[in-house]
Amino acid sequence: MSNLTIRDIARMAGVSTTAVSFVLNNRSGVSEATRQKVQEIIRRTGFTPNVHTRRLNLGKSFTIHVVLRQYGDSLFNQFALETLNSIFTVSKSLGYSVTLTFADSSMDCTQIIDSVRNKDCDGIILNQISDPSILSQLQQENIPFVCVDAHIPADMNVPMVGLDYYDAAYQATRYLYEQGHTRIGFIGPTAPDVYYHNTFGGYAAALKDANLTCDPAWLAEVAYTEESAQACIDRLLQLPELPTAFLCAGDVFSVNIIHYAKERGLRIPEDISIMSLDDLLVSRYLDPPLSTMTFNKELLGENSTRLLYQIIQGESYEPVNLIKTTPVERGTVKRIKES
């Protein structure tokens, strides 16, 4: 029965082709009895609607376009790529195909918007892209979109699925304290952006709640390069007293920090402990394996796809969805006292 059409299914069920389309696309407007009847016929016949027919009937492309920020550092790319599998899986289950654009730092707003327009898509997932000019343009053109892990201020009022970095930094710092550390430093980004404020804010709040103080010399702003990580370690080694532990605001920082700390003769975790955020795939293969806060990247991709689908369907939705994290204990944090 591979040549069946929506019209054939409608005739077999004794309903209109519109009713069949509503069932196929999980839309309201048909009774539960009709829905079950059509679904049973579809199951029994193995019917799969032709995508071109669906486009004509419903005026949709049934395509989701993902714009993925591409960084020079492969570790940053790894985080975003780990969300893609669930985006593809959920999109397929909803009857959508996926197209991709990789946007590097040289692409401006116009180029990214043009890439979206040329894809003939029903909606867009912007992965780690937070350029206000792009978001404003999409809103003006009434193009459904969702921002994923984009570090956007909440007052921008855009649909977003993100990770609760404030809570993650708080939990990570609290974890270090519970392992007996009272001199805890912070290594994070150089820019005072949303990501910095969330990670540093969670760190500072955890210190305050534990009645701990922080020497400003323990706050090491480090960029994303090997050279800056090396300079960071060299500066810290000039201190009269090192913290016993550092919270790194991302595995990208931790990888280079651990490398250059060991190169300078520091032992991890005997001399300094490292607690991180992200749980990138590489973190478990470091020596020692990295203790970090793990994010459910599959859930990140799944929630963003389902949120976009709700917007495309005109359904009500929660504009901001923050995913919590949990600690992963590996080998870079030393316990220095019994609780």
Instruction: Give the CATH number of domain 6-58; options: 1.10.260.40, 3.40.630.10, 3.30.70.260, 1.10.3720.10.
Output: 1.10.260.40
**Taking a C-beta distance cutoff of 8 angstroms, is the pair 153, 319 a contact?**
no
Whether 6-58 and 165-294 share one fold: the answer is no
Dihedral angle, C-alpha 203, 209, 210, 212, nearest 10 °: 70
Q: What angle do CA 333, 279, 198 make, to 5 degrees?
A: 90
pLDDT score of 268: 95
**Where are the chain's structural domains?**
6-58, 63-163+296-324, 165-294
Give per-residue pLDDT as tens, 260-281. Answer: 999 999 999 999 999 999 888 8
**Residue whose token pair is 């940053």:** 76
**Taking a C-beta distance cutoff of 8 angstroms, is the pair 38, 23 a contact?**
yes
CB within 8 Å of 107: residues ≥ 6 apart: none
Please give the Cα distance from 162 to 150 (Å, whole number).
7
Indicate the CATH number for domain 63-163+296-324: 3.40.50.2300
Please give the Cα distance from 113 to 138 (Å, whole number).
8
Give per-residue pLDDT as tens, 124-169. Answer: 999 888 888 888 888 888 889 999 988 887 677 889 998 899 999 9
Please give the Cα distance from 205 to 168 (Å, whole number).
12
Q: How many CB atoms lie within 10 A of CB 204?
A: 17
Give per-residue pLDDT as tens, 219-266. Answer: 988 766 778 888 888 988 899 989 999 999 988 889 889 989 999 999
Please give the Cα distance from 307 to 262 (Å, whole number).
44
What CA–CA distances, in Å, run from 191 to 63, 80, 196, 224, 234?
36, 20, 7, 11, 21
* Highest averaged pLDDT of the listed ranges 43-47, 50-54, 69-73, 309-313: 309-313
Question: pLDDT: is 66 or 68 the higher one?
Answer: 66
**Phi-psi category of residue 276: left, alpha or beta, with phi > 0 → left and psi -120 to 50 → alpha:** beta
The continuous run of DSSP H or E covering 147 comes out as strand 145-148
pLDDT score of 297: 87
pLDDT score of 85: 87
**To the nearest whole percent, how much of the chain has pLDDT over 90?**
34
Tokens of 82: 């780990």
Q: Which of 250, 259, 289, 309 is nearest to 128 (CA)?
A: 250
**Taking a C-beta distance cutoff of 8 angstroms, is the pair 311, 146 a contact?**
yes
Q: How many CB atoms lie within 10 A of CB 221?
A: 16
Please give the Cα distance from 260 to 242 (Å, whole number).
15
**Residue whose token pair is 């050279």:** 227
pLDDT band, residue 328 (cuts 50/70/90) = very high
Indicate the CATH number for domain 165-294: 3.40.50.2300
What CA–CA distances, in Å, run from 265 to 19, 22, 207, 259, 335?
71, 66, 28, 10, 20
Give per-residue pLDDT as tens, 80-134. Answer: 777 888 999 898 888 888 988 887 766 666 767 776 676 678 889 998 888 888 8
Identify how many contiguous H helices and E strands the chain contains and give both numbers.
13, 12
Dihedral angle, C-alpha 294, 299, 304, 309, nearest 10 °: 180
